Amino acid sequence: MEYFLQLFFGGLSRGSVYALIALGYTMVYGIIELINFAHGEIYMIGAFMGLIVAGVLTALGWPALSILAIALVVSVLYSAAYGYTVEKIAYKPLRSAPRLAPLISAIGMSILLQNYIMLAQTPDFLPFPRLIPELAFMEPVSNYLGTSDMFIIVTSLVVMVALTLFIKFTRMGKAMRATAQNRKMAMLVGVNVDQVISVTFIIGSSLAAVGGVLIAAHVGQINFAIGFLAGIKAFTAAVLGGIGSIPGAVLGGLVLGWTESFATGYVSSDYEDVFAFLLLVVILIFRPAGLLGKQRAQKV
């Protein structure tokens, strides 16, 4: 039972990070029906900015939790600026272009950002400070729930609840929902669609940055390629839950995290990715719209 709980909470921690990144994919798709394949690189850039901030503050002798809090804030702001810039450069000029053009632009931006960070930093793995200290009250459950796992789960939960409240109750959140439902009608009633799209990219990039710093602090190392695999997994989670559905992105991330965790624990770590993508194939065969997605009526 203890081993099962260890795998359960490990999967919950991993799935929470997948969900944070998947939310960026599903929000952008819900608004402009674009798969932002550069989103994984935004996650990676957030992690690198967290490393830079952590390195400087660690050298100055700051306490670990203060370093983590500041690293999160700076990484969120930095990644949000990157997300905003990527949208303006790579996607906005192609908004009325054929569907394939922005998709190719997204892949090109992903490769550009990945190689830019490789040249600006290093192709090697870099150590990331473990900024989450062990807590005394966690000792009774430390065999199956580590402090860093708990911190990731709680932080992710707070961020997701805040996002839900923002979308449901704020003026911008209502504008985002209106734009997702019908962009032309939203423009007719006075919604600034360009602003909504920019805010969507900013929010999605911020969520990815939070995930990047949390998982880097948990694992203890990063390199320029971490965004590619994380982006693919998060995209899988978004499709699994139902692309365009915010609850679906969260559910898909959690299901994917648990699938990988239990596959690693009970089968082999070599088959971790196999089981994850096999689950996706099975879901799409029997429910093409995803777990919480809705089938769209075909217009004829």
The pLDDT tens digits of the residues spanning 145-155 come to: 788 888 899 99
pLDDT surpassing 70 at residue 296: no
Query: How many CB atoms sit inside 10 A of residue 2's CB?
Result: 9
Yes or no: say if 43 and 80 are a contact pair by the CB < 8 Å rule. Answer: no
Contact 290/283 with Cβ under 8 angstroms? Answer: yes
Instruction: Give the dihedral of Cα atoms 254, 256, 258, 259; nearest 10 deg.
Output: 160
Q: What is the CATH number of the domain that holds 62?
A: 1.10.3470
Q: How many CB atoms lie within 10 A of CB 109?
A: 22
> What's the rounded Cα separation, in Å, for the pair 51 and 57?
10
**Cβ neighbours around 140 below 10 Å, total:** 8
Number of domains in the chain: 1
CA 49 from centroid of its chain's CA atoms: 16
Please give the residue that has the higher pLDDT: either 286 or 72. 72
Q: What pLDDT is attached to residue 299?
A: 45
The model carries a pTM of 0.90
- Domain annotation covers residue 298: no
- Full residue range of the structural domain in which residue 91 is found: 2-286
Whether residue 296 lies inside any domain: the answer is no
Residue 268: which residues within 8 A CB-CB, separation 6 or more?
A: none
pLDDT for 41 equals 94
In a domain, 263, yes or no: yes
**Cα distances (angstroms) measured from residue 190 to each of 171, 172, 175:** 12, 12, 10
Is residue 295 included in any domain, yes or no? no
pLDDT, tens digit (0-9, with 9 covering 90-100), for 224-238: 999 988 888 898 899
300 is a domain residue: no
For residue 26, the tally of other CB atoms under 10 A from its CB is 29
Asked if residue 196 is part of any domain, the answer here is: yes
Look at residue 39 and tell me if it is in a domain: yes
The DSSP string of 52-117 is HHHHHHHHTT--HHHHHHHHHHHHHHHHHHHHHHHIIIIIGGGTTS-THHHHHHHHHHHHHHHHHH
| Amino acid at residue number 254 | L
Residue 293 belongs to some domain of the structure? no
Q: Is 128 helix (H, G, I), strand (E, B) or coil?
A: coil
Write out pLDDT tens, residues 96-116: 888 889 889 999 999 999 999
Burial class of residue 1, CB neighbours in 10 A (0-12, 13-18, 19+):
exposed
